[in-house]
Amino acid sequence: MTFSENMQALFTRNNLSFLFEGLQTTLLISVAAIFLSIIFGTILGVLKNNGPRPLKFLATTYIEIVRNIPNLLWIYVVFILFKLNSYPAGIVSFTIFTSAAVGEILRGGLNAVAVGQTEAARSQGMTELQSLFYIVLPQAFRAMLPAIISQFTTVIKDTSLLYSVIAIQDFTGKAQILMGRYYALQQVFILYALLAVVYFLINFALSLFSKWLSRNWIYQR
């Protein structure tokens, strides 16, 4: 078959719809994991930086252990040990890993906020908790948001591990299934190129957004 014929056979309406379903799965898992990671990562960062000694120790231990073990192993642990279905296992494993990263990033942001901010809030009658949530945390998020967004690009890229580990038919998984049907060298190469381009465009858009935030929001105080 010619190159044109190979492409026509590969990029049918059904195949494109099949790939789009995989891309939707990738984005849904990523968004769910990112949303949950912001919540749990914030709790971990606050506890590590400002929590009572026992909770600070637990948060620090969690962050250090999770960050220094590959995410691939957490996928196996959650899927096998907790016996979750594939999709919940994917979301939970990415949440476990990304929460630790977000917690450490946020801890750095909290340390970057001047002590005088807290003192000024306390002098206005705020409690320690109120000053944390209304004064310190917003500034920490504002300063660390580009780093947090960069961490989220890692989540999107790493979802490509899910098909090979727990058979979730994400974007990469759908493409690999098509490679089993269309195994001409040109078709396989085009599918890999398509994966690379789509992941690049999504993550490059996030990177541009992060840079825009740095220029137009974070430093214009």
Q: With left for phi above 0 and alpha for psi between -120 and 50, is residue 12 left, alpha or beta? A: beta
Q: Are 211 and 146 in contact (CB under 8 A)?
A: yes
Alpha-carbon gap, residue 10 to 39, rounded angstroms: 42
**One-letter identity of residue 33:** A
**One-letter identity of residue 108:** G
Alpha-carbon gap, residue 63 to 145, rounded angstroms: 19
Tell me, what's the pLDDT at 218?
54
User: What sign does the CA torsion over 23, 26, 29, 30 have?
Assistant: negative
pTM of this prediction?
Answer: 0.85
Alpha-carbon gap, residue 70 to 27, rounded angstroms: 21
- Say if residue 70 is exposed, middle or buried (CB neighbours under 10 Å; 0-12, 13-18, 19+): exposed
Nearest of 163, 197, 166 to residue 180 by alpha carbon: 163
Alpha-carbon gap, residue 216 to 110, rounded angstroms: 21
Look at the block and give the residue holding tokens 């999107």. 156
Tell me, what's the pLDDT at 208?
86
Question: CB-based contacts of 121: which residues, under 8 Å, 6+ apart?
Answer: 130, 131, 134, 135, 136
Domains of the chain: 3-218 (1.10.3720.10)
The whole-angstrom distance between residue 192's C-alpha and the CA centroid of its chain comes to 22
Alpha-carbon gap, residue 171 to 159, rounded angstroms: 9
Q: What is the pLDDT along the chain (221 residues), one digit of tens a residue?
A: 677 777 787 888 899 999 999 999 999 999 999 999 999 999 999 899 888 899 999 999 999 999 999 888 999 889 888 888 889 999 999 999 999 999 998 888 777 776 776 777 777 777 777 787 777 887 777 778 878 888 889 899 999 989 888 888 999 999 999 988 887 888 889 999 999 999 999 999 988 887 787 677 655 55
Alpha-carbon gap, residue 149 to 214, rounded angstroms: 11
Question: CB-based contacts of 168: which residues, under 8 Å, 6+ apart?
Answer: 25, 29, 86, 87, 90, 162
